[in-house]
Copies of this chain bind each other. A is one copy, B any other.
């Protein structure tokens, strides 16, 4: 069954929900999910609404145009999605492969409604895993000299594949501003710490030296500043003096996988809205 989903951000004001739900009802749509949130501090309104297209009286390719009148009236930032239009996803990865492996497994099990159309790496390590999964693998070794050039080739590749969403599944290269700007709110990163603690390199070693009693993992949208984009999801696990750095890594990797797969599912289901440096997740 095909559903339409609209994601909305706009200044809060009277009548938004009535207008949106009225629009759907008037054209015989059946709402299956509706979530809204008002941030009183910024006076912003957020909404995710999903309805069945079966019986809906506006043709799928006319919905955008028809809804525009409402969107303009309320000065909405908005996007329209259809559940039958699967997103094209590219996974970027460096040497640690546990997150990629977890994504591929869940993908095989049908947990992710998307096309994983390419795997990109600055190392060769992931190639066998990609080949086993039957997904094209692209190797882009990165040095300070060739970085700009390689990124522009990567962007070319992403465009050719009409990629909608980029997942950095432990990709240890900082993306340039122009790369990030090409995919705003469409690049997801997993960082192996409880951000904002332990940004940058080797967060498990940092955490171990600090003697923390809990470690974490954080998924976020990528912005230009390192490990600083809007946080989407976090989770934590208890450690003790008995745990070595290897134990930190092993416990942490399980967290990373869980947080990243949850985030990817939300992204594919169009459940994440970001504003300022924050996110609203309609879980």
Interface residues of A, Cβ cutoff 8 Å to B: 14-15, 17-19, 21-22, 24-26, 28-41, 98, 101, 105, 109, 111, 194-198, 209-214, 216, 230-236, 240-242, 244, 250, 254, 258, 276-281, 283
Contacts and interface: CB of A to CB of B under 8 A. Distances in A.
17 contacts: A14-B31, A17-B17, A18-B26, A31-B38, A32-B38, A32-B40, A34-B36, A39-B241, A41-B244, A98-B109, A197-B197, A211-B231, A211-B279, A213-B232, A213-B234, A241-B279, A254-B258
A14 to B, nearest CB: 5
Prevailing SS type, chain A contact patch: mixed
Given A101-B105, A231-B213, A21 B25 contact: no
Given A17-B25, A194-B216, 10 more contacts: A14-B29, A18-B18, A18-B25, A22-B22, A34-B34, A196-B197, A197-B197, A211-B276, A213-B231, A216-B236
A280 B33 contact: no
A25 B15 contact: yes
A94 to B, nearest CB: 17
A96 to B, nearest CB: 11
Nearest to A257: B254
Q: Which 10 A-B pairs give the minimum distances between C-beta atoms?
A: A211-B278, A18-B25, A197-B197, A18-B21, A17-B21, A241-B280, A213-B234, A15-B25, A18-B22, A214-B234
A157 B71 CA distance: 55
Nearest to A206: B196
Given A38-B33, A214-B236, A241 B25 contact: no
A38 B49 CA distance: 13
A22 B22 CA distance: 7
Nearest to A241: B280
A241 B281 CA distance: 7
Contacts of A241: 37, 39, 278-281
Contacts of A194: 194, 197, 214, 216
Among A101, A197, A209: residue with most chain B CB under 10 A: A197
A258 B242 CA distance: 19
Contacts of A26: 18
A212 B231 contact: yes
Among A211, A230, A240: residue with most chain B CB under 10 A: A211
A273 to B, nearest CB: 9
A174 to B, nearest CB: 20
A194 B214 CA distance: 9
Contact of A28 (B14, B33, B36, B111): B14
